[in-house]
Amino acid sequence: MNTRVLTGITTTGTPHLGNWAGAIRPAIQASTQPGVDAFFFLADYHALIKCDDPARVARSRLEIAATWLAGGLDTDRATFYRQSDIPEIPELCWLLMCVTGKGLMNRAHAYKASVDQNTAKGVEADDGVTMGLFSYPVLMAADILMFNAHKVPVGRDQVQHIEMTRDIAQRFNHLYGREFFVLPDVVIEEEVATLPGLDGRKMSKSYNNTIPLFEGGARALRAAVSRIVTDSRQPGEAKDADSAHLFTIYRAFASQAESAQLRAQLADGMGWGDAKEALIQRLEQDIAPMRDRYDALISNPGRIEEILQAGAQKARKLAQPAIEALREAVGLRNLTSGPVQAAAGAKKAAKGARFVSFRDDDGSFRFRLLGADGNELLVSGSHADPKAAGALTKRLQQPGVAVVTLDGLAVVASLDGAEVARGAPAADAAAADAQAVQVQDALASLAQ
Ligand code: TRP
């Protein structure tokens, strides 16, 4: 089977150079590789979480779609669609919501950041937090699991969401007794370094330091480049390419030979004005032909609409049978489809406690013990080796091997006298005792 690569872009803004070099260009490049099936989409339901300006969402959908197409995406090969054209995605989202622990969502960085900001401001923790924002990772899981993507290229800020997707997929697979979902892997492309903006920070709309990709044409591009911050060295003075973000941007577009040349010219005293001119020339070489295609597309939205509709049809050919099978699995069946044929073991599994492994932000491997209701009972320490973590879960499941104790109000599970996992502290001693019993029951139920 081909590798399915899937990624989406939230439609709230106008694409800038950083979006192009950091996300769209490498994705288009990946879609041309043999053995790859690419799924690229406009995350327009996600846009509603961040933006309640209909005109902006509408405009952004058009601009981002036109950017993918102008950039050369082959929509016969790749599947290119709008999230909101696939009703199976929100449907799957609901099925996933119903197996996702609220506690898992409480841990999401984006949500926690909102809570922290609110706390700092002295307002209520959930002030301004919508259910859309809170459950955003579940919608993202639905995007990914709908098409059983193997690889999901994203920025660093999204890694946790892919981990959560794996968590949710494992839980669904386990509850309903079959490998319905592939567990996706995150792809962080180290080579496509995040582009710095005019001021050297990451190029981002929120820092107001972007270089437009197509918007405003060649003039706007030139105007932005002229505002790139440099040091105060004069023409004739030697300049260090590596400490100039102007050079970092150049390098993201140029060949190695071209970069080496500019580096040497800077060392030789090229003035910043000339360096900016060189950057503009190099950018234009790539962007000018795309800009023509982009302008033509933007002025013909009907053509883009057609392409997206065709993409939606292609995507739904996969989504429809998949959601059918999932509805069947959870019991949403045609009443005439005969006696209830629960998937073998599904019922038993649904009642079971289980271990779920995950990868921590720091790259280490850990696991959780979840109770039958899906609540987290224990979390393990960190392990560099996933096998070491796996071996511990095996031993914990052997009858009578694990020792469960209380450390204050927290339940601790130990092997050979060493702690391997612990629970969150309970509210009081009675709750702590109850948790210890739950852990013992869970381990006993897992003992073969
Ligand atoms: N949340 C992603 C972002 O802000 C966009 C996105 C939505 C996405 N669904 C996705 C990315 C599924 C990858 C896969 O960047």
Give 230-262 pLDDT, tens digit per residue: 999 999 999 999 999 999 999 999 999 999 999
Q: Is the pLDDT of residue 64 over 80?
A: yes
Q: Are 367 and 357 in contact (CB under 8 A)?
A: yes
- For residue 153, the CA-to-ligand 1 centroid distance in Å is 9
Q: For residue 63, which of 13, 113, 27 has the smallest C-alpha distance?
A: 13
**% of the chain at pLDDT higher than 70:** 96
- Please give the pLDDT value at position 311: 98
Q: Are 372 and 353 in contact (CB under 8 A)?
A: yes
157 is in an annotated binding site: yes
3-190+300-330 has which fold?
A: Rossmann fold (3.40.50)
Reported as a pLDDT band with limits 50, 70 and 90, residue 101 is very high
Residue whose token pair is 């401001």? 121
Give me the long-range contacts of 372-378 (CB less than 8 A, separation at least 24): 372/442, 372/445, 374/99, 374/101, 374/171, 375/101, 375/103, 376/101, 376/103, 376/423, 376/424, 377/353, 377/411, 377/423, 377/435, 377/438, 377/439, 377/442, 378/411, 378/413, 378/421, 378/422, 378/423, 378/439
Q: Is the pLDDT of residue 349 over 50?
A: no
The 3-state DSSP class for residue 432 equals: helix
- Please give the pLDDT value at position 341: 52
Our answer on whether the CB atom of 158 is closer than 6 Å to any ligand 1 atom is yes
- For residue 1, the CA-to-ligand 1 centroid distance in Å is 24
Taken in order 292, 294, 299, 300, the sign of the CA dihedral is positive
- For residue 41, the CA-to-ligand 1 centroid distance in Å is 9
CA distances from 135 to 161, 171, 183 (A): 11, 16, 19
In this chain, the answer to whether the domains covering 3-190+300-330 and 205-287 adopt an identical fold is no
Radius of gyration of the chain (CA): 26
Our answer on whether the CB atom of 46 is closer than 6 Å to any ligand 1 atom is yes
Mean pLDDT of 344-367: 75
CA distance 244 to 240: 7
CA distance 124 to 139: 25
CATH of domain 354-446: 2.30.29.80
- The protein residue with its alpha carbon nearest to ligand 1, atom 4, reads 10
- For residue 136, the CA-to-ligand 1 centroid distance in Å is 10
Q: Which residues are 357's β-sheet partners?
A: 367
86, 148, 154: residue to mutate for ligand 1 pocket, most atoms within 8 A of CB: 154
User: What is the number of the ligand 1 atom nearest to the C-alpha of 7?
Assistant: 13
Q: Work out whether strand 365-370 and strand 354-359 pair parallel, antiparallel, or are unpaired.
A: antiparallel
Mean pLDDT of 206-220: 95
Residue 386 or 347, more confident: 386
User: What would the pLDDT profile of 399-413 be if each residue is shown by its tens digit?
Assistant: 888 999 999 999 999
Q: Is the pLDDT of residue 124 over 60?
A: yes
Q: Are 30 and 189 in contact (CB under 8 A)?
A: no
The 3-state DSSP class for residue 227 equals: coil
Q: Is the pLDDT of residue 343 over 90?
A: no
143 is in an annotated binding site: yes
Domain 205-287 has CATH 1.10.240.10: yes
User: What would the pLDDT profile of 283-299 be if each residue is shown by its tens digit?
Assistant: 999 999 999 999 999 99
- The protein residue with its alpha carbon nearest to ligand 1, atom 14, reads 7
Q: What is the mean pLDDT of the chain?
A: 93
DSSP 71: T
Residues 205, 207, 209, 214, Cα dihedral to 10°: 0
pTM: 0.78
- Spell out the domain ranges in the chain: 3-190+300-330, 205-287, 354-446
Residue 340 corresponds to which tokens in the numbers above?
């209830």
Our answer on whether the CB atom of 329 is closer than 6 Å to any ligand 1 atom is no
- For residue 137, the CA-to-ligand 1 centroid distance in Å is 9
- For residue 167, the CA-to-ligand 1 centroid distance in Å is 17
48, 93, 148, 161: residue to mutate for ligand 1 pocket, most atoms within 8 A of CB: 161
Our answer on whether the CB atom of 138 is closer than 6 Å to any ligand 1 atom is no
203 is in an annotated binding site: yes
CA angle 240, 241, 244 (to 5 degrees): 95
- For residue 144, the CA-to-ligand 1 centroid distance in Å is 9
Q: Are 395 and 402 in contact (CB under 8 A)?
A: yes
Q: Is the pLDDT of residue 273 over 90?
A: yes
